[in-house]
A and B are shown apart, each in its own frame.
Chain A
Amino acid sequence: MIRQWHEPLDFHEWLKRAFSFLNIAVFIVTAIFVFSEFRFDWFESLVGTYLVTTNEFRPETGAVWETGKQTSSAHEYLNKIIDKKEDVRLNVHQASSFLDLASSVLPGEWVTLEKQQFKILYLSLEKSTALKIIEPARLLWLLKASSLDRIFCEGIPGGVKIYFIDSENRVIKQIDLKKEHILEIENSKKPVAGQLADMEGFLGRIYPAKVFFKAFFKLPADIIPDLIVNPESLLKQGGRIINIGIWNEAENGYIKLGFEFEEKGVKQVVFIKGREWAVWQLSLNLKGDEN
């Protein structure tokens, strides 16, 4: 049914329509609505409560979260440095030789080396080899009589720097160890394929084993231990000694001796070091025997 709407024709009709129940109800509801909002802020509370329910699903964006991320990133970076240092420390702790030590600390990395460990590494070297790293007397002074606080290792390209530092972080003594140098030191114990006659430094000073040991045992008993200070590498080597050579130069108070071994037709030379003055005494004996 369609009702034809028309404008009120008189004042009475106007009043009647204006103050109809519906209008008054709508007005009151609207007024309550607006008034209650101003009075109780329910809209704000409603929206706020709704947003609280969605909070967990929203992104962590904005200045304060960015700061948090920066903090996390900073901690990650620092932890990375610390972890790396800890790895280096563990590797260094497990190092059984100076070569291991040099390989454990990469350029730009540094770590504190326990004094005890340095002593172990040092004492594991042959005397003549150890001397090349640091003189025993100086080490004794550093470890037992100086103001040494810590030993500090820093990786450098191709090796490691070892700093002996006091409590004020001042370097008392510094040792630069290059890997190739350490290798050279350590490899000097390993046999080299070939014969003494092919090695220039021994020319004119190669003696058959029989002649050498004859002269050797003519030496006074107190000199003999200084001639072959570390016999381990010689004893380990298979085969028989056929020739012994004396190097033509002294180094740090020692002279290199080459022992030529033969085993199943294969010749190898093992190098050791004897104290310069003991070798000199031996040389005199050898020359005497030759004459």
Chain B
Amino acid sequence: MNLFLRLLKLFRFCLFSGLILVSLSLVSGMFLVFYIAKDLPKLPSPLSRIIERPQTRIFASNGQVLTTLGERKTIPLNMVSPDFINAILATEDHRFFEHHGINKLRTLKALYITLFKSGKIQGASTITQQLAKNLFFSFDKTYKRKIKELLVALQIEASNTKEEILHAYINQIYFGAGAQGIEKAARVFFGKSALDLNLPEAALLAGLPKSPTNYNPYRHLALALKRRDIVLKRMVQAGFISGLEARQAMLSKLELYHGQSDSRTGSYFLDALINKLVLKYGEDVVYHGGIKVFSTIDTRLQSYAKESIKKGLERLDTMMGIGGQDVDRPQGALVAIDTGSGAVKAMVGGRDYYKSEFNRATKSLRQPGSSFKPFLYYAAFKDLGFNPATVMTDKPVSIPVKGAANWEPENFSRTFSGNMILKKALTRSVNSIAAQIVEKVGPGAVTAVAKACGIKSPLKDVFSVALGTSNVTPFEMASAYAVFATLGVRHEPFLFWRVEDAFGRVVFEHIVQEKRVLDPSIAYQVVDMMKAVIERGSGRSIRQLGFKRAAAGKTGTTDSYNDAWFTGFTPSLCTSVWTGFDRKKKLIGINRIGITGGKSAAPIWADFMMNALKSEPERDFAIPDNIRFEMVDTKTGCKPEKENKVAEVLRVPLKPGQHLCEKNEQ
């Protein structure tokens, strides 16, 4: 009896406590609503307005759209694969069509787990709550934010149909890889429209919003597939598909789309372009202004550049005995510039953007090695009156340096060959002769030429600058060598031709201006020497690889084999290629011999240029009117003697007043 009375007492206590609790909840709930409501954000009407945003579009030189920034490609629900709708509902909110913004039971369960199971936090956001959060709130985890989010969700539910909410949701969720909204995601990951997604694809995409970075299939395919399988299982549980369909989907092979990976926001070229635009106009204009940017990039050349870098670096891996599993692999960069205008036609900043976004083409400052010598030879021809037939001696040199040990540069071959004309010295990249020249002409003259040609990185005023010890970027080298290609006319390199606002009104136009910075005849003499580098010098692998057009260039390899370059040009296109490790690490082959620019960068250059120029007519460099050619004995700098059958003879271009044998005493 007593027990029964106690139970009754308990029942009475619970009843009245419950009543008081419900009343208190109601009162405090209303208080909260009134208190917080005034700070709630206003909801746009109609809801679809929130996902309409002008897109900034970036075009390639052929008019093809490269990428859109701030894109929200809105599509109606009937243009989305039903499999995706089902998958996202099953994953995120399977009672979406039943609740009014909150799933109370799930919320109570989550609250219980969060409060009573230490270390565990359970989420219970409905699709409407997620929409409210994505549109209006930061990602701070505070109770106040949570309550606000909940109230906004209630308002969204009260003022929109379920279809409108779902439409807004799927068009604004972020899937990673720059894809916002289902249409963009379908195009980015599978190269198809959202309507054409099949079950496995739809399930994979539905799994991404939970953590777009961790489940990014380009980076973490196994995790993404695991998540896809979870989505499929939830679809079975929610009754959208059968177990058999789920199993078939799990077994199906996923084919990710890679075709436009370099055209999405995030390619090296686009990164550089967007940085320029942001510097010029600010982020608001670039990302929210709906501008149209007409870039200089040639998609055909860009695709060749990527392919050449990929193949070239794989070849380098093989030369170095680096396997596919090795994390530390050499990198590469390529920049191609139209010599006639300065327009950047192709840019690759590394072997894989998705593994390293660091743009080595524009940001990596590396020693150019001997590829800096053309600036030295130009300075010597101009200031010292030297010419390609001037004779100097390849011998050990020791140049006194004020306040430091003598500078004693060595040749790559570690041997010395005695007398030779300067054309041969550049062709064979003889350091000892370059050192003697810089001692005579002074490092300031060399840096002045480099700067006139467009090198903007700080250059050290030391003798060794002539051998490329000051850091520069591949972008600078391509731009500076392009000046030789035009025999001394400089065009400022640029990435976009025109910027228009959303209504097509021109905001900016690039005007191609020419500036003569080098004497054309002297520039031609240097170009002729650089042609010989490709014909018979350190860049001869280019001819061996089948590149037959008129071209000039120079290899560059640093003493430590940390950097290997080839920068070269035809009359119309100038390309610089750099290879090396990001960290200071040598490029050493399996045979323990250092890898030079002629072996690693030149083949990439040749491969790219062969493809890039295949549809262009062949033409040679224009010869200035005052240039005459003479045959010269490379050892004496004199006309070759008929009886001397073993003499090496080269053809050299000379300016008026320049004669053979006049500097034999050098």
Q: Is the CB of B137 within 8 A of A63?
A: yes
| A-contacting residues, B1-31, CB 8 Å | 1, 4-5, 8, 11-12, 15, 18-19, 22, 29
In the bound complex, residues from chain B placing their C-beta under 8 Å from that of A48 are: 100-101, 154-159
Q: Is the CB of B104 within 8 A of A38?
A: yes
Query: Considering the chains assembled together, what is the distance between the CA atoms of A130 and B170 in angstroms?
Result: 66
A18-B12, A170-B341 given; A45·B42 CB < 8 A: no
A70 within 8 A of B: yes
A168 within 8 A of B: yes
| A-contacting residues, B462-510, CB 8 Å | 497, 501-502, 505, 507, 509-510
Interface residues of A, CB < 8 Å — how many? 53
Q: Is the CB of A51 within 8 A of B151?
A: yes
Query: Considering the chains assembled together, what is the distance between the CA atoms of A135 and B349 in angstroms?
Result: 48
In the bound complex, residues from chain A placing their C-beta under 8 Å from that of B136 are: 61-65
Cβ-closest chain B residue relative to A34: B22
Q: Is the CB of A30 within 8 A of B512?
A: no
User: Interface of chain A, helix or strand or loop or mixed?
Assistant: helix
Cβ-closest chain A residue relative to B155: A51
Q: Is the CB of B33 within 8 A of A62?
A: no
Q: Is the CB of B42 within 8 A of A70?
A: no
Q: Which one, B287, B509, B510, contacts A70 given CB within 8 A?
A: B287
B294 to chain A, nearest CB (A): 11
B644 within 8 A of A: no
Q: Is the CB of A78 within 8 A of B511?
A: no
A18-B8, A34-B22, A47-B151 given; A41·B37 CB < 8 A: no
Stretch in contact with the other chain, from B278-286, B395-403, B588-596: B278-286
Q: Is the CB of A54 within 8 A of B101?
A: no
Q: Which one, A14, A78, A168, contacts B512 given CB within 8 A?
A: A168
| A-contacting residues, B126-165, CB 8 Å | 134-138, 151-152, 154-159
Cβ-closest chain A residue relative to B513: A171
Write the A88-115 contact mask toward B (1 if CB under 8 angstroms, else 0): 0000000000000000000000100000
Q: Is the CB of B37 within 8 A of A50?
A: yes
Query: Considering the chains assembled together, what is the distance between the CA atoms of A34 and B15 in angstroms?
Result: 13
Q: Is the CB of B155 within 8 A of A169?
A: no
Write the B107-137 contact mask toward A (1 if CB under 8 angstroms, else 0): 0000000000000000000000000001111
In the bound complex, residues from chain B placing their C-beta under 8 Å from that of A169 are: 497, 509-512
B38 within 8 A of A: yes
Query: Considering the chains assembled together, what is the distance between the CA atoms of A163 and B33 in angstroms?
Result: 65
Cβ-closest chain B residue relative to A165: B511
Cβ-closest chain B residue relative to A58: B42
A146 to chain B, nearest CB (A): 15
| Count of A-B residue pairs with CB < 8 Å | 162
Q: Is the CB of A18 within 8 A of B511?
A: no
Cβ-closest chain A residue relative to B172: A64
In the bound complex, residues from chain B placing their C-beta under 8 Å from that of A67 are: 53, 288
B514 within 8 A of A: yes
A27 within 8 A of B: yes
In the bound complex, residues from chain B placing their C-beta under 8 Å from that of A165 are: 511-512
A280 within 8 A of B: no
A23 to chain B, nearest CB (A): 7
A197 within 8 A of B: no
A14 to chain B, nearest CB (A): 5
Query: Considering the chains assembled together, what is the distance between the CA atoms of A30 and B29 in angstroms?
Result: 17
In the bound complex, residues from chain A placing their C-beta under 8 Å from that of B45 are: 55
Write the B301-345 contact mask toward A (1 if CB under 8 angstroms, else 0): 000000000000000000000000000000000000000110000
| A-contacting residues, B31-80, CB 8 Å | 33, 37-45, 50, 53-54
Q: Is the CB of A77 within 8 A of B42?
A: no
In the bound complex, residues from chain A placing their C-beta under 8 Å from that of B5 are: 11, 14
Write the A152-169 contact mask toward B (1 if CB under 8 angstroms, else 0): 101000000001010011
Query: Considering the chains assembled together, what is the distance between the CA atoms of A18 and B101 in angstroms?
Result: 38
Write the A31-73 contact mask toward B (1 if CB under 8 angstroms, else 0): 0011000100101110111111011101111111101001101
Cβ-closest chain B residue relative to A62: B136
Q: Is the CB of A52 within 8 A of B155?
A: yes
In the bound complex, residues from chain A placing their C-beta under 8 Å from that of B29 are: 43, 47
| A-contacting residues, B321-376, CB 8 Å | 340-341
Q: Is the CB of B37 within 8 A of A45?
A: no
B102 within 8 A of A: yes
A63-B135, A163-B511, A169-B497 given; A54·B37 CB < 8 A: yes
B595 to chain A, nearest CB (A): 40
Q: Is the CB of A82 within 8 A of B501?
A: yes
B291 within 8 A of A: yes
In the bound complex, residues from chain A placing their C-beta under 8 Å from that of B44 are: 64-65
Q: Is the CB of B4 within 8 A of A62?
A: no
A193 within 8 A of B: no
Query: Considering the chains assembled together, what is the distance between the CA atoms of A50 and B38 in angstroms?
Result: 12
A240 within 8 A of B: no
Query: Considering the chains assembled together, what is the distance between the CA atoms of A191 and B265 in angstroms?
Result: 65
In the bound complex, residues from chain A placing their C-beta under 8 Å from that of B505 are: 82
In the bound complex, residues from chain A placing their C-beta under 8 Å from that of B152 are: 51
A119 within 8 A of B: no
Q: Which one, B104, B137, B159, B341, contacts A62 given CB within 8 A?
A: B137
B191 within 8 A of A: no
Write the A254-277 contact mask toward B (1 if CB under 8 angstroms, else 0): 000000000000000000000000
A74 within 8 A of B: yes
Cβ-closest chain A residue relative to B505: A82
Q: Is the CB of B135 within 8 A of A45?
A: no
Cβ-closest chain B residue relative to A86: B505
In the bound complex, residues from chain B placing their C-beta under 8 Å from that of A50 are: 33, 37
A26 within 8 A of B: yes
Q: Is the CB of B22 within 8 A of A82?
A: no
Q: Which one, B100, B158, B288, contacts A52 given CB within 8 A?
A: B158
Q: Which one, B19, B104, B155, B287, contacts A30 given CB within 8 A?
A: B19
Cβ-closest chain A residue relative to B36: A51
Cβ-closest chain A residue relative to B514: A171
Sort A-B residue pairs by CB-CB distance and give the 5 closest, nearest first: A48-B158, A62-B136, A74-B289, A41-B100, A48-B154
Q: With A45-B154, A48-B157 given, can you name 16 additional A-B contacts, CB distance below 8 Å?
A: A30-B19, A41-B99, A41-B102, A51-B37, A54-B37, A58-B42, A61-B42, A67-B288, A70-B288, A77-B282, A78-B289, A169-B497, A169-B511, A170-B341, A171-B513, A171-B514
**B-binding residues in A (CB < 8 A):** 11, 14-15, 18, 23, 26-27, 30, 33-34, 38, 41, 43-45, 47-52, 54-56, 58-65, 67, 70-71, 73-75, 77-79, 81-82, 110, 152, 154, 163, 165, 168-171, 174
Can you report 29 residue pairs joining A to B where beta carbons are below 8 Å apart?
Answer: A11-B5, A18-B11, A44-B100, A44-B101, A44-B102, A45-B157, A48-B154, A48-B158, A50-B37, A52-B158, A55-B42, A58-B41, A59-B39, A59-B42, A61-B42, A63-B137, A70-B284, A71-B53, A73-B284, A74-B282, A77-B285, A77-B289, A82-B507, A168-B512, A169-B497, A169-B509, A169-B511, A171-B514, A174-B513
